[in-house]
Amino acid sequence: MATFVHLAPAALAARIRRSGIRALSQGRGSGLGSGRGVYLFPVLPSYALTHQWLRELSRRSGPRGLVAVHVRLPDGEPVTAGRYSEREPEEKTAADAVRRVRGLGDKALGWEVFLPRAVARSEVRQVRAVRQVSGWRYFPGAHGVTPCVCCVLPGEYGSRRLRERRPHPEDGPPPASPVLLSRIEKAQVTGDTAALGEALRWYRLRRRGPVARLAPLAGHADPGVRRLLAGAVARWSTPGADGILRELAGDPVPGVRRTVAECLAYRPTPEAGDLLAALAADPDPGVREAVVEGLVHRGTDEVRPLLAALARDPDAGVREAVELLTRE
């Protein structure tokens, strides 16, 4: 049996002792997991290495205080292991993951193990308090490195002084809409998708633009641009924004449709509700899972039949999303 530790909010300790650890959706770009599961780390002789994620996890929003949950898994349990920034983590058994991390020594900083399922109550061996000052912040080896203003949250100790000393480029006024439109036109001529994405990012953050000038980007050859366009117009109340999202909801790339579903979750317009209902029947399970959050957030009587249908979805991830979000 392989032994791991999972760091969880202290407020959940009683629930974990009673029913185990839920498999939560981690999302893309948030570590090794691209679906639902639980992050773990092997229990090593070094206390500091075993609990290295304490300080970084303590920085995140939510209940204060963490506990260490000791978990024992069968040696042959399939997991993925690697550094948090790796795009393609190694698929291993639980025993192999422990041996791999243990063999790294101090180089195991930043490593993690992802279990693509929930942890049963019988697999939880111990829930105990831990010292909250162990581990690293921001990234391993960050001590002594000039801090990045992006990583400092407002209200943190020394954040105002740091922002005054090292102002961030986004702290100033954003480019005017005519400037952004000229950049988009130039990027389309030169085929510079990076410049195109940067202009759309400013529209998402601070600006609103003429919908008619941006609508042609819904047919751009790069799906990344189409995803950025969905994020840019998702919070606009400008007439025509729903039309762009409707066109992107029929995109042939599932990732674009998934982005649209995520953007519609907090869009209050009736057209957005109709699009969510249409995407609830999407052939891609990732899109249907993204739709669940939007339906639950709306909480109207009209969405209950859709949620009931998704609760019987053939994909286990969609069914778990309905169960988890409706319970919460």
pTM above 0.75, yes or no: no
Q: How far apart are CA 295 and CA 309, in angstroms?
A: 12
CB atoms within 10 A of CB 50: 22
Quote the mean pLDDT of the chain. Answer: 85
Bridge-partner residues for 83, per DSSP?
111
With beta carbons less than 8 A apart as the criterion, state whether 94 and 73 touch.
yes
Give strand pairing partners of 68.
7, 128
Residue count of the chain: 328
Q: Which residue in this structure is represented by tokens 């939510």?
A: 62
User: What 8-state DSSP symbol labels residue 126?
Assistant: E
**Tokens representing 320?**
């778990």
Q: Treating both helix axes as pointing N-terminal to C-terminal, what angle do 285-298 and 270-279 enclose, rounded to 10 degrees?
A: 140
Parts of the chain with a pLDDT under 70: 26-34, 61, 147, 149-154, 157, 167-173, 206, 299-300, 328
Helix/strand/coil (H/E/C) assignment for every residue in 35-82: CEEEEEEECCCCHHHHCCCHHHHHCCCCCCCEEEEEEEECCCCEEEEE
Nearest CA to 94 out of 75, 113, 119 is that of 75
Torsion angle in degrees (nearest 10) through CA of 250, 252, 257, 260? -60
Contact partners, residue 145, CB within 8 Å, separation at least 6: none
